[in-house]
Amino acid sequence: MSAAFRRPLFAGNWKMHKTVAEARVLVRAIVARGPCPGADLVVCPPFTALAAVGEELRGSEIALGAQNMHEAPCGPFTGEISAAMLCELGVRYVILGHSERREYFNETDAAVARKVRAALDAGLVPIVAVGETAAEHAAGAAVAKVTAQTLAAFSAASAQEIGRCVVAYEPIWAIGTGNVDTPSGADAVIGAIRACVPGLGEARILYGGSMNADNARALMAEPNIDGGLIGGRSLDGDSFVACVLASEHESR
């Protein structure tokens, strides 16, 4: 499928930021900026703010996303959240396999695959994050690293299911550093991701890692980049929507 048929998607990952009161203020600012007719928007607040943000999004075209979930439907997993719990709150998307989860919480490729399967079974859309370290990038191992992660993540999903998923390529060395990858470099890696698993030709693949209003247009001009998974810039309503609006100037 050509890029012209993949509607852009921008997801804001708020990480461990915003109390419930602060989350309401932020999401109201995003909603107030009006709809972005050329793209789908998702906001992913902390678990504690999901219900409140869901209330604020009611009646808007912006979707609610979560930052993680457990693979099991229920059980003795203190501090965890199941897919059913997310669905009950109106969550439609869930970020899985973010590099911070992999690094700080020892999340493995196998665990990500189990979460992808659980998310699909619950009707959620997984946003599967993959990325390489600075050392791996310098060694020319980016494609090998991210395609291995992608293959593992979707090992229990069919091509038809994969086509409904989202992948986010986030070079770890670019997350929160201001060191964005070049548009052509990011597109080359994303092209390799798209080609490594049947079904990803239909899926939306995002770029993450210091995307902002200044570089979004150039990134979105590339044929394989379908949007962004945005961290720091999503914590300000104007900055988040500015990324989307900047990209809309680029014909897909």
Q: Which of 100, 107, 170, 222 is catalytic?
A: 170
99-112 in b/e form (b: 16+ CB < 10 A) is bbbbeeeebebebb
Element (H, E) at 85: helix 83-88
Distance CA 235, CA 52 (A): 16
Q: Known catalytic residue: 170?
A: yes
Distance CA 227, CA 172 (A): 18
9-42 in b/e form (b: 16+ CB < 10 A) is bbbbbbbebbeeeebbebbeebbebeebeebbbb
Q: Where are the beta strands (DSSP E) in the chain?
A: 9-13, 40-44, 63-66, 93-96, 125-130, 166-169, 204-208, 227-230
- Nearest-CA neighbor of 230 among 39, 22, 41? 41
Q: Which of 56, 98, 107, 222 is catalytic?
A: 98
| Alpha-carbon distances, residue 15 vs 36, 66, 107 (angstroms) | 23, 10, 16
Catalytic residue list: 98, 170
